Amino acid sequence: MTNITKLKSPLNVIHCSEKNVYGRILIYATEPKTAKMLAVLTNKSTLDYRDLEALKNLGFDIQLTKLPI
């Protein structure tokens, strides 16, 4: 038996960023191709924390750039 560590593929990482729009915090996928696919899946152009949690449960890693406090 060999000791092989599983490397994470860049396809499993979803880069997102928060944006303040008229006082509301919105989450956008930063890569255009990923944003289009997520818009098709969620039927909306922005994500919420429930969507991010569902993606984590499916095995994706979420890298969220938060707004400064």
pLDDT exceeds 60 at position 48: yes
Question: CA–CA distance from 54 to each of 20, 33, 36, 69 (Å)?
Answer: 23, 19, 17, 26
- pLDDT at residue 68 in the model: 77
Rounded Cα–Cα distance for residues 42 and 36 (Å): 10
pLDDT in tens, 5-44: 555 556 789 999 999 989 999 999 999 999 999 999 999 9
- pLDDT at residue 13 in the model: 93
Alpha-helical segments (H) within 1-69: 32-42, 49-57
> Which of the four pLDDT bands, split at 50, 70 and 90, describes residue 67?
confident
- pLDDT at residue 10 in the model: 62
Domain ranges of the chain: 11-65
Half-sphere exposure of 45 (CA within 13 A, CB side): 2
- pLDDT at residue 57 in the model: 95
